[in-house]
Amino acid sequence: MAKAPAKTVTKTATKAPAKPKSAKVSPEAAIEKLCIEGLKKLQELGIEQQLQSDIEWCLGSYKHDHNPVGLYEMAGKIVDVYTAEKAKKTKGVTAKMISDIEKILQSR
C-alpha cells in the first residue's frame, strides 16, 4: 500500500507586534543625554578641556542628587562653544546640533 503524500505545512502570515508608543522623554533625561553627547563631541574636537571636566562633574552630581540645574548651565555653555566653532567652520559642528540644544533649553 502506498503512502499518501505528506501535506506541506504553510505558515500563515502573522502580524508584527505593534510597536509601543514612544514614551515622552522627561526634560531631565533629555538634558542629561544632551550633555553626554556634547561632552563626546567636545572630546572628539579636542577643545575646551575645562568645560569638559565641568560637564563630567555636573553629570556625576546629577547622578547623585538628580538636580539638573548644573546640566542646564553646561548646555548653555556648550551652545556658546558650538556657535563659536560653527563660525570658524569647524568640521563636525552643525546648526542642527545647536538648535536641538536650544530647543531643550527653551523647554525648561
Q: Is residue 16 part of a domain?
A: no
pLDDT band at 23 (very low <50, low <70, confident <90, very high): low
Q: Evaluate whether residue 45 is within a structural domain.
A: yes
The pLDDT of residue 57 is 95
Range of the domain at 72: 27-106
Residue 22 belongs to some domain of the structure: no
Residue 6: inside a domain, yes or no?
A: no
Average pLDDT over residues 13-37: 75
Distance, in Å, from the CA atom of 86 to the CA atom of 58, rounded to the nearest integer, reads 25
Q: For the chain, what is the mean pLDDT?
A: 84
pLDDT average, residue stretch 50-72? 92
CA distances from 96 to 28, 32, 59, 71, 100 (A): 20, 18, 23, 20, 6
| pTM score | 0.71
Is pLDDT at 47 greater than 80 in this prediction?
yes
- The total of structural domains in the chain comes to 1
